[in-house]
Amino acid sequence: MKKIINRPDTVVVDSLRGLAAAHADLLRVIADPAQVLRADAPVRGKVALVSGGGSGHEPLHGGFVGPGMLDAACPGAVFTSPTPDQVHAAVTAVHGGAGVLLLVKNYTGDVLNFETAAELAAADGIDVRTVVIDDDVAVRDSTFTAGRRGVGGTVLLEKIVGAAAESGADLDTCERVARAVVAEVRSMGMALTAPTVPHVGSPSFELGADEMEVGIGIHGEPGRARTPLVGAEGIVTGLLDPILEDLPFAEGDDVLLFTNSMGGTPLLELYLAHGIAEDLLAARGIEVRRRLVGPYITSLEMQGVSLTLLRMTDELLEYWDAPVRTAALRWGC
């Protein structure tokens, strides 16, 4: 294992220390229990958004803390859910009197721990709502989940609901917008190589030189199938077709297309894949109104790509275009 770390058992806290140093104008980090908070939190009268999950998916979630997105993120150990006390502490720290919305990826540990934290916060008199994202069309159940996994759609969810909250929308409205995104977003990914969790020290799975894993999860979970490696056109088609069939998307739809690197895929290849996806959608009469390309929800150093499609409405488009200022995503400010 070759990684730029000191010790596997301190990799998360060491990384958070660097995040805090690099972005002190945007956020502050609390070490115990680990939380990444908006620098100006709590913002009085604003609905607070809290998310989180295992580390190793950076910039998710800590890189999306700031004006226009999250008020707090709770980083667990690598590929491990944050604990209820982390989430409860974050909710308490950012609650500005207008309620708190928890945005949770559909992994069993995340769902259970966020539910427990919500119960603790409710006992404190805080109005807490929870929305679970489950956009992965690859598998119905997996190693980590009961039901579909939450993957690339999480980034779009946090941006759009973050804009709603920043605009002054109340808790009911923020929850409604979040559920609208969950209903209209679908994703699927693939991998050429496996991630290596620092405290494990070896790849999560083995792939032959001529193999790829289709439908992979963000923790290195198995996908739909292990198949012979094909060219970029075949890869993109193999991801896009199941996404389009699932909702289903139709001719005349307006969409946001998110082409995501799983961590180790260079932009040269990522833009190539994105261009293919744009052409395939245009051929079906689906208009790409907005785009996002880059490593925004990763799996350590995994080589691979995921595609996410969100069917857009005028409301979602307005919230997507709204200003955002975080470590990893910013425009309009």
- Active-site positions read 57, 219
| DSSP class per residue in 153-196 | HHHHHHHHHHHHHHTT--HHHHHHHHHHHHHHEEEEEEESS--B
SS (H, E, C) 287-321: EEEEEEEECCCCCCCCCEEEEEEEECCHHHHHHHH
Q: Given the structure tokens 């050429």, which residue do they identify?
A: 192
| All residues at 6 or more sequence positions from 70 whose CB lies less than 8 Å from its CB, including other chains | 38, 49, 50, 51, 61, 64, 103, 158, 162, 326
Distance CA 288, CA 263 (A): 24
Q: Are strands 27-30 and 48-55 parallel, antiparallel or unpaired?
A: unpaired
The tokens describing 73, both together, are 């993120």
